[in-house]
Amino acid sequence: MGRKSPGPVEISQTPKYHNTKVSVDGIKFDSIKEADRFRELALLERAGEIFNLHLQEEIMIQGAFTKPSGERVKSIKYLADFVYNDQDGIRVVEDVKGVKTTVYALKKRLLSYEGTQVVEI
């Protein structure tokens, strides 16, 4: 006797971390909190308090390489929510956090070792 086939698969539209994706000025953000922080930073940049604001900047942690066996190993990158320079010209890397995953914690630690401090908002 054959098995009855399952009903239609329903895909949940709820994001993994229960965040609400939003768009501000045509820019898509993963959360309301991240969009709010963008608005704050945009105001600070217009006021001349910060400079060179970048969104979703990719920071290399370790480049790709090939093992002696010939196996190719992918690079490890960190995608920062915001990167900018403060009034003293110091580079600031910000991450708007809702959930701190173990992968995030490891990447933050590796960046810290390299001299890049990640500011959590």
Domain ranges of the chain: 22-120
Answer whether residue 41 shows pLDDT above 70.
Answer: yes
Per residue in 84-109, is it b (16+ CB within 10 Å) or e — as a string?
Answer: beeeeeeebbbbbbeeeeeeeeebbe
pLDDT of 21:
87
- C-alpha to C-alpha distance for 109 and 117, rounded to whole angstroms: 9
Give the whole-number percent of the chain exceeding pLDDT 70.
86
Residue with tokens 């790709």: 64
For the purposes of burial, counting CB atoms within 10 Å of the CB of 23, is it exposed (0-12), middle (13-18) or buried (19 or more)?
Answer: exposed
Lowest mean pLDDT among 8-12, 40-44, 82-86, 101-105: 8-12
The 10s digit of each residue's pLDDT in 87-118 is 999 999 999 998 899 999 999 999 999 999 99
